[in-house]
Structure 1
Amino acid sequence: MKRKYIKVAGLLMALCVVAVSLAGCGKEKVVTRTDFALDTVITIAAYGQSDEGILKEPFNRIRELDNKLNAFSEDSEISKINAAAGQEPVVVSEDTFNAVKEGLEYSEKTGGAFDITIGPLVDLWKIEAPGEGVVPEQPAIDAAKAFVDYRKVVLDEAAHSVFLEEPGMKINLGAIAKGYIGDAVKAVLQSEGVERAIINLGGNVVLIGGKSNREPFTVSLEDPEDPLSNGSISDASTLGVLRERDNSIVTSGDYERYFIGPDGKRYHHILDPKTGYPAESGLHQVTVITDTSADADALSTAFFVMGLDQAMTYIRETEGIEAVFVTTDNRIVATKGMEDTFVFDEGNHGGQYTLEFTEP
């Protein structure tokens, strides 16, 4: 699934989660599987388990949902909805209907900062790999932006159908699909009796339980000024760690996919639906921590587009959301609730960043 490649730098937890072999992680039984799906590397580790077969169904579920939700696959249900834009409603599976419905809810809640009809702009900019891209002409941006309006998506609950009112509209669930899939995988593991696990969908991290009954899992946050150079944890510089359990953690940043334009400006892949351009909000990176992965996924994008002040207002008015923001002027601003769970690596980054915990 070609989408934003949000990355938490790694799951420290003795750095064993991402390895195929868990030798050195203690005597506890752990089964792990690493595979390529969703256009990224996926790792699932289940604790207190000895049968690797328990991970078969979670990976089957990942591929099943990718086949339905991938806007870049001609055979997906999302592509069928897009192909019928302005013509007729398309009856879809419960999975696709619910994913679109959740996406619309966040489009509404964020006032369009997150908009699932962003597809025409995503297709126009085509920012897929670092260093590759061209700034579109303004008339082309204006034309694509005219098709971006989540209010023109019509859902029929009884028929399980989705209809785009205007030809040329396109749904792209890239900013919520991995979150939705993460929640689905968590449900599968829990139905199999797994009580402690880490699901790492290429950076969308879902935690079930903790490292032990007493100890939380430890997740590292990537330094946006020195991100992973080749996907190896050993190459990552981390700002600090999050000590969490039973939560989902998703990060969005302007350093994963971008290119430098002829004006010397960085053009990244997180597009502002209102301007049609990459968001300029004064943020470099946003990490959101919630109890569901779809929420964290959608909000990490929305907050990046909104900027710090609007994001903090949203958090203040909504229960169950914590966040860590890194601004373009090298401030780390974390919500007050993160004081006991976010540990800043001051020794390595104290001279570069300032940290503050604040009430939203």
Structure 2
Amino acid sequence: MKRKYIKPAGLLMAVCMAVTGLAGCGKEKVATRTDFALDTVITIAAYGQSAEGILKEPFNRIRELDGKLNAFSEDSEISKINAAAGLEPVAVSEDTFNAVKKGLEYSEKTDGAFDITIGPLVDLWKIEAPGEGVVPEQSDIDAARALVDYRKVVLDEAAHSVFLKDPGMKINLGAIAKGYIGDAVKSVLQSEGVERAIINLGGNVVLLGGKSDREPFTVSLENPEDPLSNGSISDASTLGVLRERKNSIVTSGDYERYFIGPDGKRYHHILDPKTGYPAESGLHQVTVITDVSADADALSTSFFVMGLDQAMAYIGETEGVEAVFVTTDNRIVATKGMEDAFIFDEQNYGNQYTLEFTEP
């Protein structure tokens, strides 16, 4: 089975919805479609709409972009770029060029905590479902890490081409592709006249408007100590809810794709490009809230690698970014701007977690 986008789901829709749809939510018409794409279950709900046909183009757009950006598909444009590493530039579509450009933007902004050329390390570790994986030899990690360097990606705006300078380099957009696709789907819905919608790309959530003019959407934040195990919302354990409208919400965590090594240590899928190993930052889960889904996607991974202090410093210097962090010592640290938006389930988890709102 081909592997695709490796970011775990950490968000659960709690908008009077079941996995199968939203048609029963109150009396308002809601066009809903649930399908499997991007290696996950995707649900799109358009409020104030009655015909499911309005969701055909959004799903077509998802599959179109997946076909271009999936590093594990031999026919994708990303795979063609990787195959030509060290040989020649590859001309690509505007979609792929812009996605790579966006990824490079965050590679630079985060000083390599996020690096789109992490492909060799992803391929080496092969961390997928819980329990599956082995720790690679140090020599293999060193060899793969030597091929990770976003500064060796050359973009040609005029030719819309991408070139990897060294043979063996590989781009993997797994930590930004869903966000990029979410923004594209939002644009399709807006072009169709949809003003209020939920786009749930398996945990990457994009909100268009609110549930109503007065009421925001509600998104539940998964408990990393008791994560969703079988795709059933009823079985999920949630730390609290986020009440948001218009924004995008993306979570990264170490609890859904990992294995336990012979040393008893947990090895998860969020790799630190600078060490070649799973990130050890003192974080268990990171949720980022921004108005652009690609930004939230890239930053959730970046912040997980950076750790709490560096992530908070980044937020303090950046407009329009809010976050909720869960540390490995069971602290929930949220940015000050989340005081009215994040509602912690203190009754059930007050003995397990502490909550603090902090000015970045």
TM-score category, normalised to shorter length: over 0.9
Contact 1:8 1:220 in 2 (8 A): no
Q: 1:71 to 1:280 in 2, by over 3 A?
A: same
What is the CA-CA distance between 1:229 and the residue it aligns to? 1.2
Contact 1:71 1:171 in 2 (8 A): yes
Contact 2:8 2:252 in 1 (8 A): no
What is the CA-CA distance between 1:20 and the residue it aligns to? 2.9
Find the aligned partners of 1:7 and 1:341 in 2 and give their Cα distance.
24
Find the aligned partners of 2:12 and 2:107 in 1 and give their Cα distance.
33
Find the aligned partners of 1:4 and 1:338 in 2 and give their Cα distance.
32
Contact 1:17 1:43 in 2 (8 A): no
Aligned residue in 2 for 1:76: 76
Find the aligned partners of 2:233 and 2:204 in 1 and give their Cα distance.
15
Cα deviation code 1:251-304 (max 9, x no counterpart): 000001000000000000000000000000000000000000000000000000
Find the aligned partners of 1:7 and 1:236 in 2 and give their Cα distance.
18
Aligned residues: 360
Aligned residue in 2 for 1:293: 293
Worse overlay, 23-32 or 204-213: 23-32
What is the CA-CA distance between 1:17 and the residue it aligns to? 3.7
- Please report the RMSD computed on the Cα atoms of aligned residues, expressed in angstroms: 1.6
What is the CA-CA distance between 1:19 and the residue it aligns to? 3.4
Query: Secondary structure of the residue that 1:175 maps to in structure 2?
Result: coil
Q: 1:199 to 1:21 in 2, by over 3 A?
A: closer
Contact 2:206 2:293 in 1 (8 A): yes
Find the aligned partners of 1:4 and 1:75 in 2 and give their Cα distance.
13
What is the CA-CA distance between 1:30 and the residue it aligns to? 0.3
Q: Unaligned 5+ residue runs, structure 2? A: none
Query: Secondary structure of the residue that 2:281 maps to in structure 1?
Result: coil
Q: 1:270 to 1:69 in 2, by over 3 A?
A: same
Cα deviation code 1:167-204 (max 9, x no counterpart): 00000000000000000000000000000000000000
Query: Secondary structure of the residue that 1:21 maps to in structure 2?
Result: coil
Q: 1:328 to 1:5 in 2, by over 3 A?
A: farther
Query: Secondary structure of the residue that 2:95 maps to in structure 1?
Result: helix
Aligned residue in 2 for 1:193: 193
What is the CA-CA distance between 1:11 and the residue it aligns to? 7.2
Taking structure 1 as the reference length, the TM-score comes to 0.97
Contact 2:12 2:221 in 1 (8 A): no
Worse overlay, 4-13 or 196-205: 4-13
How many percent of aligned residue pairs carry the same amino acid? 90
Taking structure 2 as the reference length, the TM-score comes to 0.97
What is the CA-CA distance between 1:231 and the residue it aligns to? 1.0
What is the CA-CA distance between 1:14 and the residue it aligns to? 5.7
Contact 1:8 1:250 in 2 (8 A): no
Cα deviation code 1:326-351 (max 9, x no counterpart): 00000000000000000000000000
Aligned residue in 1 for 2:136: 136
Query: Secondary structure of the residue that 1:12 maps to in structure 2?
Result: strand
Q: 1:335 to 1:13 in 2, by over 3 A?
A: same
Q: 1:46 to 1:271 in 2, by over 3 A?
A: same
Q: 1:247 to 1:21 in 2, by over 3 A?
A: closer
**2:343 pairs with 1:346:** no
Q: Any runs of at least 4 consecutive aligned residues in structure 1 with deviations exceeding 6 A, and if so which?
A: 1-13
Q: 1:13 to 1:258 in 2, by over 3 A?
A: closer
Q: 1:126 to 1:7 in 2, by over 3 A?
A: closer
What is the CA-CA distance between 1:43 and the residue it aligns to? 0.2
Contact 1:253 1:284 in 2 (8 A): yes
Q: 1:209 to 1:134 in 2, by over 3 A?
A: same
Query: Secondary structure of the residue that 1:133 maps to in structure 2?
Result: coil
Worse overlay, 13-22 or 333-342: 13-22
Cα deviation code 1:29-71 (max 9, x no counterpart): 0010000000000000000001111000000000000000000
Contact 1:8 1:221 in 2 (8 A): no
Q: 1:23 to 1:164 in 2, by over 3 A?
A: closer
What is the CA-CA distance between 1:7 and the residue it aligns to? 7.6
Q: 1:226 to 1:12 in 2, by over 3 A?
A: closer
Q: 1:328 to 1:10 in 2, by over 3 A?
A: closer
What is the CA-CA distance between 1:16 and the residue it aligns to? 4.0
Contact 1:119 1:172 in 2 (8 A): yes
Contact 2:127 2:269 in 1 (8 A): yes
Find the aligned partners of 1:342 and 1:8 in 2 and give their Cα distance.
21
Query: Secondary structure of the residue that 1:170 maps to in structure 2?
Result: coil
Q: 1:252 to 1:188 in 2, by over 3 A?
A: same
